[in-house]
Amino acid sequence: MKAKEIREKSAAEVTQLRTKLERELMDAHFHKATGQLKDKTRISKLRRDIARIITITREKQ
């Protein structure tokens, strides 16, 4: 997800998106532990997206 897309969303939408991505990250960690994770880069992409959301949220404050 690009920063421009995040900036266009409302605060409530960004909060929901962050919660969704954090849940996906947790699921990806479980899949990795059980050997079911197909896309090895998924975890790092999710972490980057979450960090991007946190950064943009702090910029708005």
pLDDT tens readout for residues 8-58? 999 999 999 999 999 999 999 999 999 999 998 999 999 999 999 999 999
Instruction: Delineate the domains of the chain, giving CATH numbers in brackets.
Output: 3-60 (1.10.287.310)
Amino acid symbol at 13:
E
Cβ–Cβ < 8 Å for 44, 21: no
What pTM was computed for the model? 0.90
Strand, coil or helix: 31: helix
Amino acid symbol at 15:
T
Q: Which residue in 7, 6, 10, 9 sits closest to 49, CA to CA?
A: 6
Name the helix (H) or strand (E) containing 28.
helix 11-34
Q: Who's near 47: CB < 8 A, 6+ residues apart?
A: 25
pLDDT at 7: 93
